[in-house]
Amino acid sequence: MQLKPLVVFLFTTLPVLTVATSPDTATINDISNLTNDLKAFDAAVQNWDLQENSSPAQTMKDQANKAVKDLSQTLQDAKKIESLTPDAQDKLVASMKEFTSVAGDVIKHMAEKQSESDRGDGYRGLMETSNKATGLFFNELRNSLANKIPQETVQELSGQLQGLQNGLNKAI
């Protein structure tokens, strides 16, 4: 019976809280969600038995689909950012660095899982697609934020992207 006031409160304040989220906070949260998707994907890669229909393989597919949605949302929110406070900038850069680190782990674990002799067209296609998607993601994000964060930070993030793409090229 006391549940009704709580439900009314939640339904009236939740939309207000959602609307109050700034684009920079939304982008930081999006990148965090994307990083979590990659962490779950990485855990599935490490448990993968190389069978296409296994539970880890399904988890990998599910997490990859979720990551694509989160990636799209990240780019949409990043384009809405008009300016960044120093604190928001630091959080955004830290989120992007964590994403890059986790993505590097995924690449490493996938390359370890598939021996070079077993890297067929499906593996190469996945890595090449990942390479292109990573490049597009970082380029779009960099373009959206280029005039909102210091040039040295843009260059640092570009260096991380290049390192990630080098890892993907090596894994292919």
Model's pTM, two decimal places?
0.70
DSSP class per residue in 2-53: THHHHHHHHHHHHHHHHHT--HHHHHHHHHHHHHHHHHHHHHHHHH--S-TT
Looking at residue 15, its pLDDT comes to: 43
Predicted confidence band of residue 18 (pLDDT cuts 50, 70, 90): very low
- Domain ranges for the chain: 23-171
| 23-171: in CATH 1.20.58 | yes
Is the per-residue pLDDT at 63 higher than 60? yes
DSSP class per residue in 56-78: HHHHHHHHHHHHHHHHHHHHHHH
Look at 21-25, 70-74, 116-120 and tell me which has the smallest mean pLDDT.
Answer: 116-120
Nearest C-alpha neighbor of 130 from the set 79, 171, 94: 171
Q: Name the more confident of 131 and 25.
A: 25
- Separation between Cα atoms, residue 116 and residue 166, nearest integer Å: 17
Look at 60-64, 65-69, 109-113, 141-145 and tell me which has the smallest mean pLDDT.
Answer: 141-145
- Residue located via tokens 């994403």: 99
Looking at residue 123, its pLDDT comes to: 60
Is the per-residue pLDDT at 130 higher than 60? yes
Helix (H) or strand (E) holding 54: none
Is the per-residue pLDDT at 3 higher than 60? no
- Residue located via tokens 């038995």: 49
